[in-house]
A and B are shown apart, each in its own frame.
Chain A
Amino acid sequence: MTAATQSGPRQGRDLLPMAASLLSGLLTALPLAMLAAVGRERGGEEATFLHLVTLVAGLAAVSAVFALRGTRPAFLRPLNSGWSMVALAAAFGVVAAICVSGIEWYYLSTGIISVAIFLLVTWSLVRLSLGLYFASSTLGSVSGSLVMDQMGAFGAIERDISLIRVAGALLVAAGVVVVRTAK
């Protein structure tokens, strides 16, 4: 079999994890833009509190699902059972629901999106080479942030996408790949 025919399926297998990694990067800008928006209304500490509370609720919910399907959390007692994770998710969920009152409800998604990013990263990282992973995720995050800037997402100052900014973002992504993969 030639190298070209061998590389075909390999490239095909990489496409989905690369898309997942790119998506995780693209999504990265979203919770931070939301956090900034909440921060403008309430202050950085309060916005960070809401973000972290929803994030812990989401991560505990994921752990609870895994635990209830048979993979117990590897913490020491009392956090080593599925029900402890259910309790943690519920407690933090209630706190998050209280904290979001007075602002738009969708700000609850800051932590939830971060949970989705975590799941996408853990899924794609084991299926891609390090170079491809860093290339796609960094490209995703810088592209996502350029688009968010252009839109002035969630009331932020608008900053136009220019060729120079795109070139700069691409150089950052290229630099990351070289730093992380070069010998």
Chain B
Amino acid sequence: MDVGISLALAFAFGIALTLNAAITGAVSRARGGREASLLTPISALSVIAVLLAWIAYDEGSTTLPVPFEALAVTLVLIPLAWLLLWLVVRGLPLWYGCAGFLNGLGLVFVPRFVEDLGLALYFSALTLGSCSGALLFDHFGLLGFARRKASFARAGGLALAGVGVVLVRAA
């Protein structure tokens, strides 16, 4: 994959981290930190189960060991993963279940990002994305965030992080 595309995707997944943090924070306030921490990986797993079934259907099998390489098993994993996700979010707004969807997709791309960008540049771009997301969510008061206008100081901090990413990339 092109380095520019990888950088843009890492930045976008960084923004998605803000959405994840918002939902995790809401679940943490409603239920507690340990309960909230289980939501993201189970939510991500629901998406990965679908992707694995798609791979097994498309390519004949996954590269996982027996029995998880078989299409039949991956098809069984989908309802199990979604049932578990439902059990975890039951009693909360059901859309909280999407907390880890984008994180799961982001993790799928990690091997590609590490190959194209290296860990340092990947982390830097991801961090820049999450800072941008935080600024956006705060400024517009999205998803119940307390509205907090983007100040020059905070925009300056974002610019500083942006220059940092450019330096890590340039080197």
Contacts and interface: CB of A to CB of B under 8 A. Distances in A.
Contacts of B158: 175, 179
A170 B62 CA distance: 41
Interface string B52-84: 100100000011110110000000000000000
Interface in B11-49: 31-35, 37-38, 41-42, 44-45, 48-49
Interface stretch (A3-11, A14-22, A157-165): A157-165
Query: Taking chain B's interface residues, is the majority helix, strand, or loop, or is none over half, making it mixed?
Result: helix
Contact of A148 (B33, B64, B119): B119
B109 interface: yes
B65 A171 contact: no
B45 A172 contact: no
B104 A179 contact: no
A99 interface: yes
Interface of B: 31-35, 37-38, 41-42, 44-45, 48-49, 51-52, 55, 62-65, 67-68, 87-88, 90-91, 104, 107-115, 118-120, 122-124, 127-128, 131, 134-135, 151, 153-154, 156-171
Given A156-B115, A179-B161, A169 B124 contact: yes
Interface of A: 28-29, 32-33, 35-49, 51-53, 55-56, 59-60, 62-63, 66, 73-76, 78-79, 95, 98-99, 101-102, 111, 118, 122, 138, 141-142, 144-146, 148-149, 153, 156-157, 159, 162, 164-165, 167-180, 182-183
Given A47-B111, A48-B44, A42 B63 contact: yes
29 contacts: A29-B123, A32-B122, A35-B111, A36-B114, A36-B115, A39-B110, A42-B63, A44-B107, A44-B108, A45-B108, A47-B110, A48-B44, A48-B107, A52-B104, A63-B35, A99-B68, A138-B127, A141-B127, A148-B120, A164-B167, A167-B167, A172-B128, A172-B164, A173-B164, A174-B160, A178-B153, A179-B135, A179-B157, A182-B154
A176 B160 CA distance: 9
B3 to A, nearest CB: 12
B157 A178 contact: yes
